[in-house]
Amino acid sequence: MTRSLQAVAYTRPSVLESAPGGRRLGLETSRGSTPTGIEDHPRFFTGFLTSPQVAAAGLLAVADVAAARYYQPRLRASLDPVVTGNGDRLRFESFSGCGGVYARLDVLAPGLDGDGIGHGTTNVDVNNPLREALSRVGTDDPLHLRVGPDEMTVTTAAGPVVEKKVPLPDRWLRGFAEAQVTAAGFDLRAELPAAEAVRFLRSLPRGTARGRRGGVQWVVPAGRGLRPTTRPVPGAVCLPGPDRLIALQRVLRHATALRVYGPPVSGDAALAGAWEAVLPGMRLTLTLSPDAARGFSGEGGVLDALATEEAAEDAELIAVLLAWEPRVDVGDLAAASGLPAERVRAALVRLGTSGRVGYDTAEAAYFHRELPYDAGRAERHNPRLRSALALVSAGAVALDGAVGTVTADDGHVHRVRDDAGTLSCSCLWWAKYRGGRGPCKHALAVRMVRRGARAGHGDGPAPAVAAAAGRHEEILETTVDGGEGQ
């Protein structure tokens, strides 16, 4: 698996301290993106939390996911949550070390009482002493929140800097990209009142070390609650690895409702889903991959957007229009950019690969953020994309009507057929997943050449596609997790 070291520096550790009239929670920020550019320690908010105990539990839940591996749990994981200020709310996000659970706490305007909320994205320090202190926040404890450095500390150069070297898997960033594409296909399937939510979550079976028990599980709405079902009937939601919902236990007694989101059921294949605890002034959402042993990073939902230069050009235009909005409306962006809605969505998918947009299932809308990492990493380190670009660059693709022939390096010939815009392939990847995890490298290469041939009116790939292949040649030998390379 490709990994890199990300330096995360804070002016001091985050702390929860006693103060006259209550407690003061100081969340320290690292280097991050803001509307005025990169800042070393941006400040997003100073004020009170209207539901301090609930907010403390929600922050701990996000930190729990960042420190957890639900698959192969004996391996350690520890990443600092990401915080985004969107002007009317704060979003705290994390991804599990195994890549299969995405957590987000949205602290909305009713949950905050203080100065205006800033705009930008950075990491926030949640250390072990802070976790212990947050767990002791009581119902009647007033809690003052500061996200960012204290101004007096900023003006002095004497304070210590706490720096962490975080081994960041590249699949973690790819997981953010794939999770927002997956969530964009969800609809609300059920909403449980508080009592039913507690009853259901506490009734879930405990899984094995692999996070599964008895194969794929499904639940279906029944009255005011949910009941298990042995097969994916219409309206059902997949629940792979119930143990991965354990972070919801942190906030369960504060929840007013539980909302469940999922895609339409088609066949027997396992599906992703989102579970949202509705809290006073905030929401905590856990999005689960289709299998506890299967991270979001290999789902392949972003590959089509990465494979076309048109989406790259559109993404540059759309990026200028995002403006840190908490709710990004596709129709408004289409009107402002002059692009069709389909191209706007493709551009948003591409922006998601560098962490620049996320998706909020509760509002069925994208939102703007800027992860403080290399913008091209997800694209460069995607095994199938690199392999497809190498095939195109080597001239391994030949077109004959609706059939594309791809000759691999080992001499094997794969045939890709186009059936009304859906590509199928004769390779083992297609036989195993049937398109359920995005196109294989052969179908992706054929799609690139088809687009290039139309653009260049010739037999080979268009100059833009060839140039893209050239830009990736230097990293084709990168070692990656072998499960995603087809």
In a domain, 373, yes or no: no
Q: Are residues 394 and 458 in the same domain?
A: yes
Q: Are residues 209 and 152 in the same domain?
A: no
Q: CA 445, CA 442: separation in Å to the nearest integer? A: 5
Cα atoms found within 13 Å of the Cα of residue 333, Cβ hemisphere only:
28
pLDDT at 206: 65
Q: CA 318, CA 185: separation in Å to the nearest integer? A: 21
Share of the chain above pLDDT 90, in %: 31
pLDDT at 6: 61
pLDDT-derived band at 406 (thresholds 50, 70, 90) equals: very high
Q: Are residues 159 and 48 in the same domain?
A: yes
Q: Are residues 186 and 234 in the same domain?
A: yes
In a domain, 349, yes or no: no
Residue ending a domain, choose from 105, 133, 167: 167
Q: Residue 356: pLDDT above 70? A: yes
Residue ending a domain, choose from 298, 328, 353: 298
In a domain, 415, yes or no: yes
CB neighbour burial string for 399-423, b if at least 16 within 10 angstroms, e if fewer: eeeeebbbbeeeeeebebebeeeeb
pLDDT-derived band at 298 (thresholds 50, 70, 90) equals: low
What one-letter code names the amino acid at 261? Y
Q: Residue 478: pLDDT above 50? A: no
Q: Quote the longest CA-to-CA distance of the chain.
A: 77
In a domain, 25, yes or no: yes
Is the CA virtual torsion 258, 264, 266, 269 positive or negative? negative
User: What average pLDDT is seen over the chain?
Assistant: 79
pLDDT at 215: 58
In CATH, what number is assigned to the domain containing residue 83?
3.10.150
In a domain, 42, yes or no: yes
pLDDT-derived band at 324 (thresholds 50, 70, 90) equals: confident
In a domain, 387, yes or no: yes
Q: Are residues 138 and 184 in the same domain?
A: no
CA angle 180, 181, 183 (to 5 degrees): 60
pLDDT at 302: 64
Q: Are residues 182 and 97 in the same domain?
A: no
Residue ending a domain, choose from 281, 298, 315: 298
Q: Residue 191: pLDDT above 80? A: yes
Q: Are residues 440 and 400 in the same domain?
A: yes
Q: Are residues 157 and 18 in the same domain?
A: yes
Say if residues 105 and 282 touch (Cβ distance below 8 Å).
yes
pLDDT-derived band at 78 (thresholds 50, 70, 90) equals: low
Q: Are residues 143 and 25 in the same domain?
A: yes
pLDDT-derived band at 110 (thresholds 50, 70, 90) equals: very high
Q: Of 388, 381, 459, whose CA–CA distance to 427 is shortest?
A: 388
Q: CA 240, CA 156: separation in Å to the nearest integer? A: 51
pLDDT at 1: 45
Residue 233's domain spans which residues? 178-298
In a domain, 339, yes or no: no
In a domain, 307, yes or no: no
Q: Residue 217: pLDDT above 90? A: no
CA angle 110, 83, 53 (to 5 degrees): 45
Q: CA 78, CA 68: separation in Å to the nearest integer? A: 7
Structure confidence by residue, pLDDT tens digits, 417-457: 987 777 889 998 888 877 667 788 898 888 888 877 433 33
Q: CA 204, CA 83: separation in Å to the nearest integer? A: 31
Q: Are residues 141 and 193 in the same domain?
A: no
| Number of domains composing the chain | 3
Q: Are residues 182 and 292 in the same domain?
A: yes
pLDDT at 187: 95
Q: Are residues 105 and 209 in the same domain?
A: no
